[in-house]
Amino acid sequence: MKKREIGKSGLYVSELGLGCMSFPDDLNVVKTIVDAALHAGINFFDTADLYAGGKNEAMVGEVLKGRRDEIILATKVGNRMIPGEEGWRWDSSKEYIKEAVKESLKRLGTDYIDLYQLHGGTMEDDVSETIEAFEDLKKEGVIRQYGISSIRPNVIERFLRDSSAISVMMQYSLLDRRPEEWFPMIREAGASVITRGTLAKGLLTGEGISRVGKVDGFAAYDAEHLQRTVGEVHETASDVHALALSFNLNEDVVSSALIGASSKNQLLDSIVAYEATVEKSEIASISQITEAHRYEQHRP
């Protein structure tokens, strides 16, 4: 599997990354998924302290024992869980980030994180304090690099402008092209995009037609427009799954396209799709079917 550099960081990640949020609550099944990913050349694993209340990080740490030097490990911070309370609250303070990273390190069973990401963000945050926390952790060797996971252009622009962040994780796919407007800004900042939602909740896989009738719209599409668009994409594409991956990776600002998998077979489907050949002319042609919507809120 090919690798790409995240920004100018010296971190080279596989073009397909494994988003760990969809792992089942079964360590043996998770191990089969991770083994298959590593065998296929996937070296980029993304989790978050929020997922399953920290259990996801713990499972990732367990199944990657003894393989730390083979992987680029990413996690996230900012959604603070309060013991005894349901849900979480946003906390991007320096004090909390420095406290939370220690807990993530314990769960992951490692003494450093390759890519530590702010898991959201608002314009009300004291961004200088947040960035200072990440920079301190870099100097201490606790993290190698940092980035942000957000779909808010104003938050992203400010964070990149005032920091040495190397990545922006965004929901991006053939059916959610809102981030495209901001790719030049991210590229100019020397950062890369990591895409999540690459397969649009399965709408861009072989199950897309059966799934689309069960969802009430997606991204900026209402239900009717979505059904029509997904149908046309499936009618036109030679392999929708392969096209979806190639569409994202056709953008040079994208360093890795995250895929989720709750079973080994789901992962293998994506690996087979990745290895299929998709002509650039087909990508360009089918791109005309979908719409490049814009974010209407949180604009700089």
What positions carry a catalytic annotation?
51
Locus of tokens 């993530």 = 104
CB burial of 48-67 (b: ≥16 within 10 Å; e: otherwise) equals bbbbbebebbbbbbebbeee
Confirm if 120 and 150 have CB atoms less than 8 A apart. Answer: yes
The residues near 54 (Cβ < 8 Å, ≥ 6 apart) are 81, 103, 107
Helix (H/G/I), strand (E/B), else coil: 215: coil
Residue 155 vs residues 35, 149, 161, 241: alpha-carbon distances, Å? 36, 10, 10, 31
The residues near 124 (Cβ < 8 Å, ≥ 6 apart) are none
Residue 6 vs residues 15, 35, 112: alpha-carbon distances, Å? 11, 24, 18
